[in-house]
Amino acid sequence: MKSITILIFCCMIAACLSAGLPDTKSVSAAESPRDDGVFVKHDVASAVVRQKRAGTAPADPTVAQLESLKEVCEANLACEHMMDVSGIIAAYTAYYGPIPY
């Protein structure tokens, strides 16, 4: 049991010491990773996410998704009336925009 503990302790020390050493390989500027383009502005990122969500929306929403839309639409009397006349998807789209999923 002591030998396993000492072995694990030695491995941890070796890992800690090797993590702090600089690389001996020289990397040219062309091969080094660049930070350009890693971060984007919030409005651009949200537009990309909206486009991705809109492209992957299922053709037929599940019962749970329809119930969620119905709960949102019931808070607005005009939307609730349109839901009774035209259906939940048409009413939600008319009052709240495209379905988020």
How do residues 5-63 score in pLDDT, each as one tens digit?
887 888 788 877 777 655 555 555 555 555 556 677 777 777 766 765 555 555 688 89
Does a structural domain hold residue 77? yes
| Domain presence at residue 96 | yes
Domains of the chain: total = 1
pTM for the whole structure? 0.43
Structural domain range at position 91? 62-100
Whether residue 90 lies inside any domain: the answer is: yes
Domain assignment present for residue 6? The answer is no
Neighbours of 92 (CB within 10 A): 23
Residue indicated by tokens 């070796």 = 14
80 domain residue, yes or no: yes
48-64: per-residue pLDDT in tens?
667 655 555 556 888 99
Virtual torsion, Cα 67, 51, 78, 76, nearest 10 deg: 60
Any domain includes 93: yes
